[in-house]
Amino acid sequence: MPLVIPNGFAQVAFRWSLLNDPEVMITTMGYDFAAMSGGDQANLDAITDQFTAVYPAAGMIAGWTFLGCRAYVGVPGGAAVVLDSPRAVIGTASGNTPPQNCALLVKKRTGIGGRRGQGRMYIPPFAIDENAVGPNGVLLPGFLAQVQGGVNAVWGSNFATYLLHSDSPSPMDPTPINSLIVDRSIATQRRRLRR
């Protein structure tokens, strides 16, 4: 089921690396680039800069590096155009993160009911100290509120975010995301973090 990226929209992949792990980890979000004020590259740079403003080096635990963003921009009648906004923000915060196969699960909510009206993304634990996670895998309440604030600041505030759909069972226009909800339990979705 290929993802449909209509003209003027983009799927943006946020990319991280972890020391001694050879694979890059990602999370993705859909954006309406046509609704933003700049060209495609400027829009991608603004999204990347928003992330680094919320999570500078001191906001990421040592060993993690934010590599920047890659956008797959929909164009009429052809394959998506690929743009990069590279960064090398190396985490300096103290602490130990959970294993890299752990992730934050964030639910994407739209105004459409049913399974096709919601999505999710998995965020690698670049800013989660293992002391903020209980032995049952549940985020401590104060930390959950902090993480929700960070997610809202990066993905839920300055830009028009959209849920992009596959072409099966039938094509569907991108749907505006109304809210992002961080699940209080950490997820273990290693394969969804890789690209």
What is residue 37's predicted lDDT score, i.e. its pLDDT?
85
> Rounded to an integer, what distance in angstroms lies between the CA atom of residue 95 and that of residue 156?
27
Does the pLDDT at position 1 exceed 60?
A: no
What is residue 168's predicted lDDT score, i.e. its pLDDT?
61
Tally Cβ neighbours within 10 Å of residue 47.
25
What is residue 114's predicted lDDT score, i.e. its pLDDT?
82
pTM of this structure: 0.92
Does the pLDDT at position 109 exceed 70?
A: yes
Lowest mean pLDDT among 10-14, 52-56, 134-138: 134-138
The burial of 33, by beta-carbon neighbours within 10 Å (0-12 exposed, 13-18 middle, 19 or more buried), is given as buried
* Residues in CB range of 191: below 8 A, 6 or more apart: none
